[in-house]
């Protein structure tokens, strides 16, 4: 499943989903300043299952779907300007950017819409960093970054650089989804991609997130995200400058992409 969330500047397992973005705080495709849903639990420019993209989050499906969301969140994707399924992404919900799509494992991605932080928003105190990944998980994270930059180059976007704070936020999200058995841009405590990215110490002007669950390899999760409009939007958002990828292999795998542009 995958989700996608993304939030654009100005206005947040099998399947991926995106999350969408939102002002002040960037879930399922979710956006902070301007939010939108991609699929199912759609997008943050965020993804799960491929969770979704976040850009204004949407919910994503369970196994094998991506989600995206974002602010500027299976896959699930989430950009800040951030948040369904090949498996399915959703901008913060069901497979496909929550836009929900079922992936052939049954996982959904969710994108989250992109969020933009209002100038008046205070920066929350950073939380303790997630444990660093190593071995296969670390290698997979690096491969996802390389695949993202390959796709961006095809569409005239500059390559993203890895940011340790975004990587910490992404790894924490993947680890939390595994530990607490949920697949969404927003966790059981109500924290969305913008909250997590801010808590990791990243001062953003926009962000996005894609999550996914169930895809076995970097190539398969990227294919699921790219087949979901919400998650794809986070990946090909030329406004993003940095990225962090979190991978937990046990029980999933669980995949999280956090995109951002710093202030």
Please report the beta strands in the chain, taking only residues with DSSP state E, as ranges in sequence order: 2-3, 21-22, 31-32, 46-47, 66-71, 76-77, 115-116, 161-162, 204-213, 242-248, 254-262
How do residues 240-263 score in pLDDT, each as one tens digit?
Answer: 999 999 999 999 999 999 999 999
Q: What is the pTM of this model?
A: 0.66
Instruction: Locate 115 and state its tokens.
Output: 């969020």
Q: Indicate the CATH number for domain 2-262.
A: 3.40.33.10
List of E strands, 45-122: 46-47, 66-71, 76-77, 115-116
The pLDDT assigned to 85 comes to 43
Q: What is the pLDDT of residues 113-153, one digit of tens each?
A: 455 554 444 444 444 445 556 799 999 999 999 999 999 99
Distance CA 45, CA 50 (A): 13
Domain ranges in the chain are: 2-262
Asked if 77 contacts 57 with a C-beta cutoff of 8 angstroms, the reply is no
The tokens of 94 are what? 């069901």
What contacts 12, CB < 8 A, 6 or more positions away? 5, 6, 19, 20, 21, 22, 26, 27, 28, 29, 30, 31, 32, 35, 43, 44, 45, 46, 54, 55, 56, 57, 69, 70, 71, 73, 78, 79, 80, 82, 83, 91, 92, 112, 113, 114, 115, 185, 192, 193, 194, 207, 208, 209
**Average pLDDT of the residues of the chain:** 72
pLDDT band at residue 57, thresholds of 50, 70 and 90?
very low
The neighbouring-strand residues paired with 68 are: 210
For 154-198, write each residue's pLDDT tens digit. 999 999 999 999 999 999 999 999 999 999 999 999 999 999 999
Q: Please state, in angstroms and rounded to a whole number, the distance separating the CA atoms of residues 88 and 235.
A: 15
Task: Give the mean model confidence (pLDDT) for residues 61-76.
Answer: 56
For 180, the enclosing helix (H) or strand (E) is helix 164-180
Residue 49 to residue 19: CA distance in whole angstroms: 13
pLDDT given for residue 3 in this prediction: 59
Greatest alpha-carbon pair distance for the chain in Å reads: 44
């Amino acid at each position: 499943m995958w989700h996608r969330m993304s939030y654009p500047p100005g206005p947040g397992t099998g399947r991926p989903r995106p999350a969408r973005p939102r002002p002040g705080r960037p879930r399922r495709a979710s956006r902070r300043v301007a939010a939108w849903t991609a699929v199912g639990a759609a997008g943050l420019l965020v993804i799960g299952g491929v969770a979704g993209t976040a850009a204004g989050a949407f919910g994503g499906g369970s196994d094998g779907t991506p989600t995206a969301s974002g602010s500027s969140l299976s896959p699930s994707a989430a950009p800040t300007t951030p948040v369904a399924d090949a498996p399915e992404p959703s901008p913060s919900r069901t497979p496909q950017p929550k836009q929900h799509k079922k992936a052939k494992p049954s996982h959904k991605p969710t994108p989250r819409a992109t969020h933009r932080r209002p100038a008046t928003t205070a920066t929350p105190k950073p939380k303790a960093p997630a444990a660093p990944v190593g071995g296969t998980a670390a290698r997979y994270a690096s491969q996802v970054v390389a695949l993202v930059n390959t796709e961006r180059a095809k569409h005239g976007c500059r390559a993203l650089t890895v940011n340790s704070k975004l990587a910490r936020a992404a790894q924490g999200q993947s680890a939390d989804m595994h530990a607490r058995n949920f697949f969404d841009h927003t966790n059981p405590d109500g924290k969305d991609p913008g909250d997590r990215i801010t808590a990791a110490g990243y001062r953003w002007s926009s962000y996005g997130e894609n999550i996914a669950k169930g895809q076995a390899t970097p190539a398969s999760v990227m294919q699921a995200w790219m087949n979901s409009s919400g998650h794809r939007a986070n990946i090909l958002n030329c406004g993003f400058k940095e990225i962090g990828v979190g991978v937990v292999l046990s029980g999933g795998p669980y995949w999280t992409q956090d995109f951002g542009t710093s202030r």
